[in-house]
Chains A and B, each alone.
Chain A
Amino acid sequence: MTVHNLYIFDRNGSCLHYSEWNRKKQAGISKEEEFKLMYGMLFSIRSFVSKMSPLDMKDGFLAFQTSRYKLHYYETPTGIKLVMNTDLGVPNCRDTLQQIYSMLYVEYIVKNPQCVLSESLQSDLFSSKLDSFIRALPFFSVRAA
């Protein structure tokens, strides 16, 4: 089991943070374009899911999986979107993403007056805390490649 990468988007679609751990394949386009493509996909999935749903939804879109990876999605009411890609064995990560938001993003970004919200995050403290948080997850283990 492993964590591949993590994206944080704000509600306007700009990528606030990106970090990767065990990523074997790059998308073959520049990072800026990849962020736009990822945000566009999430935006379309949200609209797709809300139209497709036969019943009223509460949380909406939670996750999708392909044959090789699983994408976990969490959105706050303020529109911050956290996206984490893991392998297929990882169970529901909603709590983990919520913890990243409440324990790391709110603590080290929102409470830091020098961090400009809605811009790419520059805080080293946040990056290192996030890195150690992800590495401490029970399902984070680098497989011998």
Chain B
Amino acid sequence: MAIFSVYVVNKAGGLIYQYDNYVPRAEVEKTFSFPLDLVLKIHDEKVVVSFGQRDGIRVGHAVLSINGVDVNGKYTAEGKEILEYLKDPANYPVSIRFGRPRLSSNEKLMLASMFHSLFAIGSQLSPEVGSSGIEMLETDVFKLHCFQTLTGIKFIVLADPRQSGIDALLRKIYEIYSDFALKNPFYSLEMPIRCELFDQNLKSALEIAEKAGTFGPGS
């Protein structure tokens, strides 16, 4: 699996489509005794590790479940605050599952509009004349590719750094968007895309792109 997700952003910076391709998530479950050898804090209504990495638990990982029961934000399934619950030695030993926090749909909306403005600033701070916005953003674990159409719609694909053929994929998604979203009489412009044919065709385009171009096995 080498294509992680697809975002479509309208010209005002609103997220109108998002699809997460399957990503294997590293989740770790461990049994702890009192006191906990990790420092936890509340961040964005989630309990995350702020210090102390061990056994695959990393800084930034969130508490996903306690004793096998999924937590609800910063509260346990019974409605107690997680940090208070973990302060009580009577609750130990306790088994906690950690993993990267999942993006909520609100966070995805926020990230999409954040990228919209980063795109514009990237073009404004250009040392060369006539520059577009950010077309490709590179980190050590993924590459973000962005294609802006003449009408201002942005297609964003997150993929493995080694994945090739993304430019063709972006144009293919544009084609699918024109064929199955724009020609759908029930689709209103600039609004979230809820078309079954668009979904289906996008998924098959992603499958084809993944088969076509990765370097090296296992990616």
A residues engaging B (CB < 8 A)?
A: 4-5, 20, 22-25, 27-28, 34, 37-38, 40-41, 44-45, 48-69, 71, 85, 87
Contacts and interface: CB of A to CB of B under 8 A. Distances in A.
A48 B140 contact: no
Interface string B3-42: 0110000000000000000010010000000000000000
Nearest to A38: B125
Interface stretch (B63-71, B129-137, B211-219): B129-137
B114 interface: yes
Given A27-B125, A66-B126, A45 B23 contact: no
Nearest to B123: A66
B126 A45 contact: no
Interface of B: 4-5, 23, 26, 58, 60, 100, 103, 107, 111, 114-115, 117-118, 121-142, 144, 158
Contacts of B26: 55-56
Contacts of B136: 64-65
A71 B183 CA distance: 39
Nearest to B115: A48
A62 B114 CA distance: 18
Scoring A24, A37, A53, A57 by chain B CB atoms within 10 A of each residue's CB, the highest score goes to A53
Contact of B131 (A45, A58, A62, A66): A66
B116 to A, nearest CB: 11
B138 A20 contact: no
Determine which residue in A44, A52, A55 has the highest number of CB atoms from chain B within 10 A of its CB, and name it: A52
A65 B140 contact: no
Contacts of B140: 57-60, 62
Q: Which of B103, B115, B135, B158 has the most CB of A within 10 A?
A: B135
Contact of B5 (A37, A48, A54, A69): A54
5 closest A-B pairs by CB: A4-B127, A68-B131, A67-B132, A68-B128, A64-B137
